[in-house]
Amino acid sequence: MEYQDKITAVQRYVEAFATGDMSIIRELYATDATVEDPVGSDIHRGIEAIVKFYEPSLGSGIKLTLSGEPRCAGDEVAFPFQVSAPGMTIDVIDVFKFDAQGKVISMRAFWGPENMKS
């Protein structure tokens, strides 16, 4: 997978939150993908579980703003961003791993209570 394809995936992810468009999430993820958000919590397996996980966030008006440049290596990209929700912000680093078709097969979000601000 090319560098620009990974950057485009990150941009599309941010766009999904900006527009509340679940079809972008369905487009980005492989049908058998996993989401672990935050790392150490229960893993959501498969596209339907992933959609169910994202529905409350996309429907609530939460927005994402990149807070640094994405870093690409191999078949993965890590990117820092800030989640803006009513009355709170969270600093997060997500890591996407891609399959041979360019779909996200794994998303892991790194953040904890110390990254939340009111």
Mind listing the pLDDT tens digit for each residue in 96-110? 999 999 999 999 999
Q: Would you place residue 72 in the very low, low, confident or very high pLDDT band (cuts 50, 70, 90)?
A: very high
DSSP run (H or E) holding 68: none
For 16-66, the pLDDT digits (tens) are: 999 999 999 999 999 999 999 999 999 999 999 999 999 999 999 899 999
Residue 94 falls in the annotated catalytic set: no
Q: Which two tokens stand for residue 38?
A: 């935050």
**Are the C-beta atoms of 115 and 81 separated by less than 8 Å?**
no
Mean pLDDT, to the nearest integer, of 67-79? 98
For the entire predicted model, the pTM comes to 0.96
Structure letter (DSSP) for residue 77 = E
Q: Pick one of 3.40.1110.10, 2.40.50.140, 3.90.600.10, 3.10.450.50 as the CATH number of 3-113.
A: 3.10.450.50
Q: Which residues make Cβ contacts (< 8 Å) with residue 28, sequence separation at least 6?
A: 9, 12, 13, 16, 103, 104
Which of 13, 29, 54, 94 is catalytic? The answer is 13
User: Rounded to whole angstroms, how far apart are CA atoms 45 and 105?
Assistant: 10
User: Rounded to whole angstroms, how far apart are CA atoms 78 and 72?
Assistant: 7
Which of 3, 29, 37, 54 is catalytic? The answer is 37
Half-sphere exposure of 74 (CA within 13 A, CB side): 7
Per-residue confidence (pLDDT) for residue 9, from 0 to 100: 98
Per-residue confidence (pLDDT) for residue 109, from 0 to 100: 98
Per-residue confidence (pLDDT) for residue 53, from 0 to 100: 98
Residue 37 falls in the annotated catalytic set: yes
For 79-98, the pLDDT digits (tens) are: 999 999 989 999 999 999 99
User: Rounded to whole angstroms, how far apart are CA atoms 16 and 117?
Assistant: 23
For residue 8, is it left (φ>0), alpha (ψ between -120 and 50) or beta?
Answer: alpha
